[in-house]
DNA sequence: TCTGGGGTCCTAGGACCC
DNA sequence: TCTGGGGTCCTAGGACCC
């Protein structure tokens, strides 16, 4: 029987690579992409990594260094990354229909059906095609499980001579080689082992992937719950995390953002809560969903230890809805409740959950609907439809809720955005 | 002065029911 | 009003992911 084969296709430095598609002049130059609010560095080109720029480093601290070293800085352009991601995924699907789109820049392929192929060569071919058709370089790791495929793709990125593909299955027949390989993987780098678990494992002397793999099941489950056990099984080559080809429906929608500067006024916090509520509700309708609960949270900055307050509050509706004014009403009310004067708040957020498909709602034959409430529902739907249509056509915020406020002093910082690259999405097709 | 945003899953514990 | 075990459902909190 042949070995199972999962491939992880991982776009290299994805956001940076996307920016380079439109700026070929930056091909061998150091570049970075910043998070929202120009907060921190979330993508680095290899040249930037070589300079020692750290992932997640606060931009304000790195700014002089970046300037000195001629690093080109981009603010994130998510519509662009989303579009390029779609193109990459479409190409991958033509090579292998058993596919899980794992994130904006990663996909798992299940290559079991390709046993007559030389998988390494096939992966090379995939890689070359993606690069030719999109300009995005990818790394591909192949292994008997998803967790090992992740490791394989890491190895691949670190080994220049791998030329973009690393096939662990080739070595599977020589256990000593696999042992040696896992010996070199720190436990903290394993997919599914985060900071807390890594620290815990360290305390018990488990520092490498090989050591984790060789612990007994009961111990693993006790220390790391079943998810940790699955991870260890996967390291042994026993596939325990299945390919998720049709991801389950979304369960929640969140809209939250850090303020441009700390907020101390209740009205400002409330305006932000309303604005995020409006956005979350737009997303809800765009995806044809209804929500049964809305939550609002508020928090101070972790970087100000002397001034800490975080709280959240939830409201559940009698029946699922997508009506913005209703969300807005409850969001404001809850914010009033959790806001405490005297704190410098850093962030508020809104979460819609208990989601269900709107079309599953229609045609409830058992419910007795009065013509009055029927008419009410219809006019609500029409109102939402019209506002969404106007905002889509003329830009977000054309029709705005009074509660969002006009000045919006709490808004994300924009000063550092480089105007040239915040291109309106509608302009991009002209470039192509 | 300035440190992202949006998700999922697992578990423990409480409420409720029989 | 007391006694008991066990099941289900919900939620908050923790941990992880990109």
For A380-396, the pLDDT digits (tens) are 888 888 888 887 777 77
Q: What integer pLDDT is reported at residue A198 of this predicted model? A: 96
* pLDDT score at A419: 38
**C-alpha–C-alpha distance, residues A20 and A351, integer Å:** 35
User: Positive or negative CA dihedral for A19, A20, A25, A26?
Assistant: positive
Per the domain annotation, does A124 fall within a domain?
A: yes
A276 and A303 together in one domain:
yes
A164/A180 same-domain check: no
* Burial group, residue A259, by CB count within 10 angstroms (0-12, 13-18, 19+): buried
**Residue A417 resides in a domain:** no
Least confident of A307-321, A392-406, A416-430: A416-430
A267 and A197 fall within a common domain = no
| Model pLDDT, residue A412 | 61
Neighbouring residues of A296: CB distance < 8 A, sequence distance ≥ 6: A273, A277, A312, A313, A331, A334, A335, A338, A348, A349, A350, A351
The secondary structure of residue A237, as a DSSP letter, is T
Instruction: Indicate whether A332 and A377 sit together in one domain.
Output: yes
Quick check: A78 CB within 7 A of strand B?
no
A423 CB inside 7 Å of strand B? no
Task: Write down the pLDDT at residue A1.
Answer: 62
Same domain, A313 and A215: no
* Statement: the CB of A207 is under 7 Å from strand B: no
Task: Say which range, A232-241, A345-354, A384-393, has the weakest mean pLDDT.
Answer: A384-393
Least confident of A166-170, A259-263, A321-325: A259-263
Same domain, A10 and A153: yes
pLDDT at A64 over 90: yes
pLDDT digits (tens, 9 = 90+) for A135-185: 999 999 999 999 999 999 999 998 877 789 999 999 999 999 999 999 999
CATH number of the CATH domain containing A75: 3.30.70.270
Q: Same structural domain for residues A165 and A179?
A: no
Residue A3 lies in a domain: yes
> Where a domain ends, among A139, A155, A171?
A171
**Domain count across chain A:** 3
Strands A165-167 vs A138-143: parallel, antiparallel or unpaired? parallel
Checking each nucleotide's C1' against the CA of A313, the nearest proves to be: C12
Residue A426 lies inside a defined structural domain of this protein:
no
Surface-to-core class of residue A211, CB atoms within 10 Å of its CB (0-12 exposed, 13-18 middle, 19+ buried): middle
- Report helix angle A146-158 to A217-235, nearest 10: 60
- Cβ atoms of residues A291 and A253 within 8 Å: yes
Model pLDDT, residue A369: 63
Nucleotide nearest to A260 (CA to C1'): B2
Round to a whole number and report the distance in Å from the CA of A251 to the C1' of B7. Answer: 9
Does residue A45 sit within a domain? yes
Least confident of A272-281, A299-308, A385-394: A385-394
Question: pLDDT class for A248, splitting at 50, 70, 90?
Answer: confident
- Is the whole-model pTM more than 0.85? yes
pLDDT for A389 equals: 84
Residue A422's pLDDT is: 34
| Percent of chain A scoring above 90 in pLDDT | 68
CATH number at residue A209: 1.10.150.20
Least confident interval from A188-192, A296-300, A420-424:
A420-424
Q: Mean of the per-residue pLDDT values for chain A?
A: 89
A80, containing H or E segment: helix A78-95
> In the structure, how far is the CA atom of residue A128 from the C1' atom of nucleotide B12, in angstroms?
49
Chain B positions with a protein C-beta closer than 7 Å: 1-11
pLDDT in tens, A178-229: 999 999 999 999 999 999 999 999 999 999 999 999 999 999 999 999 999 9
Are A258 and A412 a contacting pair, CB within 8 Å?
A: yes
Whether residues A156 and A186 fall in one domain:
no
A240 CB less than 7 Å from any atom of strand B: no
Nucleotide C10, nearest residue via CA and C1'? A354
For residue A216, the enclosing domain spans: 174-248
A389-397's contacts with Cβ under 8 Å and 24+ in sequence apart are A391/A282
Provide the CA A144 to C1' B5 distance, Å, integer. Answer: 33
Residue at which a domain ends, from A212, A229, A248: A248
Which strand (E) or helix (H) includes residue A348? strand A345-353
Q: What is the pLDDT of residue A91?
A: 98
A418 closest CA partner among A88, A136, A68, A66: A66
Evaluate whether A5 touches A141 at the Cβ level (below 8 Å).
no
pLDDT at A109 over 90: yes
Tokens representing residue A40 in the block: 């921190």
- Return the H-helix or E-strand segment holding A94: helix A78-95
Task: Find the mean pLDDT for residues A9-36.
Answer: 95
| Crossing angle between the packed helical segments A266-286 and A371-394, to the nearest 10 degrees | 100
Same domain? A349 vs A389: yes
Is A358 within 7 A of strand B by CB distance?
A: no
Whether any strand B atom is under 7 angstroms from the Cβ of A305: the reply reads no
Nucleotide nearest to A226 (CA to C1'): B10
Q: Is residue A57 part of a domain?
A: yes
Q: Answer yes or no: is A184 within a domain.
A: yes
Q: Which nucleotide is nearest to A76 (CA to C1')?
A: B4
Give the per-residue pLDDT at A431.
42
Question: Which H/E stretch holds residue A167?
Answer: strand A165-167
Domain end, chosen from A219, A248, A277, is at: A248
Residues A2 and A13 in one domain: yes
Tokens coding A392: 């889509």
Instruction: Kindly report which amino acid residue has its CA closest to the C1' atom of nucleotide C18.
Output: A103
Q: What angle do CA A267, A272, A273 make, to 5 degrees?
A: 95
Question: Given pLDDT bands bounded at 50, 70 and 90, which one contains residue A372?
Answer: confident
Contact predicate A62/A34, CB 8 Å: no
Distance between CA atoms of residues A381 and A367, nearest Å: 19
Range A59-88 average pLDDT: 94
Closest nt to residue A225, judged CA to C1' = B10
Task: Kindly give the interhelix angle for A324-338 and A266-286, rounded to the nearest 10 degrees.
Answer: 150
A411 touches strand B (CB under 7 A): no
Of all nucleotides in the shown strands, which has a C1' nearest the CA of A256? B5
The residue with tokens 């969903």 is A289
- Residue A428 belongs to some domain of the structure: no
Tokens of A92: 């991958």
Report pLDDT for A402: 78
Cα A7 to the center of its chain, rounded Å: 20
Q: Report the CATH number that the domain containing residue A289 is assigned in CATH.
A: 3.30.1490.100
Q: Is residue A63 domain-shared with residue A155, that is, in the same domain? A: yes
Q: Residue A32: which residues within 8 A CB-CB, separation 6 or more?
A: A16, A41, A43, A44, A45, A48, A53, A66, A71, A72, A73, A74
> Which bases of strand C have any atom within 7 Å of the beta carbon of a protein residue?
11-18
With residue A19 as reference, give the H or E element that holds it: helix A14-21
Whether any strand B atom is under 7 angstroms from the Cβ of A257: the reply reads: yes
A319 pLDDT band, cuts 50/70/90, is: confident
**A329, A371: one domain:** yes
């Amino acid at each position: 029987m042949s070995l199972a084969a999962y491939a992880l296709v991982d776009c290299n430095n994805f956001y940076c690579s996307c920016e380079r598609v439109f700026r070929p002049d930056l091909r061998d130059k150091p570049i970075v992409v910043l998070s929202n609010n120009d907060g921190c560095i979330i993508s680095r080109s290899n040249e930037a990594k070589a300079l020692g720029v750290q992932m997640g480093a606060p931009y304000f601290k790195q700014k002089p260094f970046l300037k000195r070293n001629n690093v080109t800085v981009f603010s994130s352009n998510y519509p662009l990354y989303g579009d390029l991601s779609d193109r990459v995924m479409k190409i991958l699907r033509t090579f292998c229909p058993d596919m899980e789109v794992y994130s904006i820049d990663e996909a798992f392929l299940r290559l079991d059906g390709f046993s007559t192929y030389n998988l390494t060569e096939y992966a090379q071919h995939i890689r070359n095609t993606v690069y030719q058709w999109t300009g995005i370089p990818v790394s591909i790791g192949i292994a008997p499980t998803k967790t090992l495929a992740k490791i394989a793709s890491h190895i691949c990125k670190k080994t220049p001579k791998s030329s973009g593909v690393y096939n662990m299955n080739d070595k599977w027949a020589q256990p000593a080689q696999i042992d040696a390989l896992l010996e070199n993987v720190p436990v903290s780098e394993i997919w599914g082992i985060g900071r807390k678990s890594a620290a815990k494992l360290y305390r018990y002397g488990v520092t490498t992937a090989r050591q984790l793999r060789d612990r007994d099941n009961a111990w693993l489950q006790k220390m790391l719950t079943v998810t940790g056990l699955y991870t260890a099984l996967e390291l042994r080559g026993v596939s325990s995390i299945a390919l998720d080809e049709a991801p389950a429906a979304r369960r929640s929608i969140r809209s939250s953002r850090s303020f441009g500067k700390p907020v101390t006024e209740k009205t400002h916090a409330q305006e932000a809560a309303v604005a995020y509520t409006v956005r979350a509700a737009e997303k809800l309708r765009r995806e044809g969903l209804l929500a049964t609960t809305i939550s609002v949270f508020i928090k101070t900055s972790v970087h100000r230890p002397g001034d800490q307050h975080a709280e959240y509050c939830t409201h559940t509706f009698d029946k699922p809805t997508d009506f913005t004014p209703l969300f807005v009403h409850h969001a404001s009310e809850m914010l009033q409740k959790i806001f405490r004067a005297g704190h410098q708040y850093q962030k508020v957020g809104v979460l819609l959950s208990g989601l269900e498909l709107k079309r599953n709602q229609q045609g409830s034959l058992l419910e007795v609907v009065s013509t009055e409430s029927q008419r009410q529902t219809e006019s609500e739907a029409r109102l939402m439809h019209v506002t969404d249509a106007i905002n889509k056509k003329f830009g977000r915020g054309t029709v705005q809720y009074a509660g969002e406020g006009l000045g919006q002093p709490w808004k994300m910082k924009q000063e550092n955005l480089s105007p040239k690259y915040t291109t309106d999405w509608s302009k991009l097709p002209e470039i192509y």
